[in-house]
Structures are given as C-alpha cells and as structure tokens.
Amino acid sequence: MRETVQAEVIMTFLVSEELSFRIPVGLDYDSSDPYAVKFTFHLPGDAPVTWAFARELLLDGLSQPSGEGDVHIAPASAEHLSDVFIRLQVGSEGALFRAGAAPLVAFLDRTDRIAPLGEERSVADFDYDLAAALDNILAGNTEGQNAG
C-alpha cells in the first residue's frame, strides 16, 4: 500500500549577504521510494524546482554537516538544534537556503511512521518491482523504461 507525507515549510533563500527572501518549499515523501525525500522550491518568477535526495541525509544534516556532491545540509549552530543550511549545487551554480529545524524534524517523524529508518526495504516491494522489470526486459518490452 502506497503512503505519502506532504508538508510545506517556509525557507529563506540566501542570495547574498545583503539579499535574502522567504519562499515556500513543498516537502514530499512517498513510500514507493522509501529512501528519498523531495523538496520543491517555489522561487518567484520561476517554475518550481524539485530536488530529490536521501531521507537519511536530511536527518544527518540536522545534527552535523552532511552530504557529498550536489546536496549539503548542516546545522546553523553547533550548540542547539534551531536552523539548518541546505546548499544545492549544479556545476558552478549554487543556492543556499536556511530552514527551521523543527518543521523538518516533524516531517521526518511523519515519514518514520510509514517507513522507520533502517526498515525501508520492508515498505517497498523491491523484489516484485525487480521481477516485473526483468520480465519486461526479457519479453523485449522496453516501453516506458529509461536508459541509464
């Protein structure tokens, strides 16, 4: 049975030291992809932009600097849990956001009720999905599949 968790938080988009503005960000979790969370950033004047990354990365980033590659999450303060920084990087372009930790913790708590961390495999039927994909490949039916 597929379950989802959705929330909306307000984050601060830190354009520079002098310029920042608050934006709504949609948070999504779907038990059909139990290891991932999706953040949809609603920037003024632009189409929404969605980033998907590991749920565990979000959890780890609440208490310590975490992430490699395009997504980095770190607490704003080492002393107490208040805000976190989320840096998204594409090539040489990056965006920095500041979010309150409390709504992220509440969101993660709701996802944990669906799929406790460490038990994600029991939520998704990976064996069935793999068997169905292999059946399609062996039958020569590649419609709807992505290459790479």
Q: What is the pLDDT along the chain (148 residues), one digit of tens a residue?
A: 789 999 999 999 999 999 999 999 999 999 989 999 999 999 888 899 999 999 999 999 999 999 988 999 999 987 777 899 999 998 888 999 999 999 999 999 999 999 888 777 766 555 445 555 566 677 766 554 444 4
Q: How far out from the chain centre does Cα 20 lie? A: 22
- Structural domains in the chain, CATH included, are 4-140 (2.30.31.20)
Q: What is the 3-state secondary structure (H, E, C) of 90-107?
A: ECCEEEEEEEEHHHHHHH
Whole-model pTM?
A: 0.79
Left if phi > 0, otherwise alpha if psi is -120 to 50, otherwise beta: which for 103?
alpha
